[in-house]
Amino acid sequence: MSRSRRLVEVVRQLKKVAPKALTAHQIAETFSVSERTIYRDMAKLIDSGVPIEGEAGLGYWLAPDDGPPPISLTWRQAQILWRGARLLALTAEEEFAADAVAAQNQLEKILGAQRIDRISGHPILSLSDKLRPADAVLSAFERARERGHAIRIIYVSLSDEDIAVEGVPTGITPIGEMRILTLTCPDGLIHIRAERVKKLTMRA
């Protein structure tokens, strides 16, 4: 059986068992090929736009819809999503980073090379000031996070104003030499660049 015919038959098999999943081993046995071949086939189908999803330990299945989700964006919104995907590609765990790269690639098709060249030349976050945060800030933040204590932070905003916030430390995200502190506050999550912190106080 040719590869193109096998790809068609694989999709038919997934439709037949939907919404259940088929493992790579099950599909490989059906078509008398190796699991590695099925992995390549699935990558080809997904890249071609077939709505197949997969997860280690579960297998592959067809998404509920017959195609990608509908999308309606302004140019500005598409650019913001591209920047967000770019940030995740740099900072997320491996699986999410790979998905972020795929999202970037799709958004680049929408935005076009000229727009991508323009927005990629600007940093996602301002890099005009020093990048290395004080070790004491990171240590105190991490210590409060481990103990589950709330903290009060005074930091300098991008407009050079002193701002005070209170919340529970959630995590530290590295971006190059920068460190982004995330706090859970009554109004939601707040993200602060560690090098902009002037004072950090642990609350009882």
Instruction: Specify the pLDDT at position 48.
Output: 76
**Maximum C-alpha span of the chain:** 69
Class of domain 3-62: mainly alpha
Query: What ranges do the domains of the chain cover?
Result: 3-62, 75-120, 135-202
The answer to whether the CB of 141 falls within 8 A of the CB of 172 is yes
- pLDDT at position 128: 45
**Nearest-CA neighbor of 116 among 84, 87, 83?**
83
Q: In the 3-class helix/strand/coil scheme, how is the chain assigned residue by residue?
A: CCHHHHHHHHHHHHHHHCCCCECHHHHHHHHCCCHHHHHHHHHHHHHCCCCEEEECCCEEEECCCCCCCCCCCCHHHHHHHHHHHHHHHHHCCHHHHHHHHHHHHHHHHHHCHHHHHHHHCCCCCCCCCCCCCCHHHHHHHHHHHHHCCCEEEEEECCCCCEEEEEEEEEEEEEECCEEEEEEEECCEEEEEEHHHEEEEEECC
Top-level CATH class of 135-202?
mainly beta
The tens place of each residue's pLDDT in the chain, 204 residues long, gives 788 888 889 988 998 888 889 999 999 999 999 999 999 998 888 877 788 888 877 889 887 654 455 566 777 788 888 888 877 776 666 667 778 888 888 888 878 888 887 777 665 554 444 555 678 888 999 999 998 899 999 988 767 788 999 999 988 887 767 788 888 888 788 888 888 898 899 876
pTM attached to this predicted model = 0.41
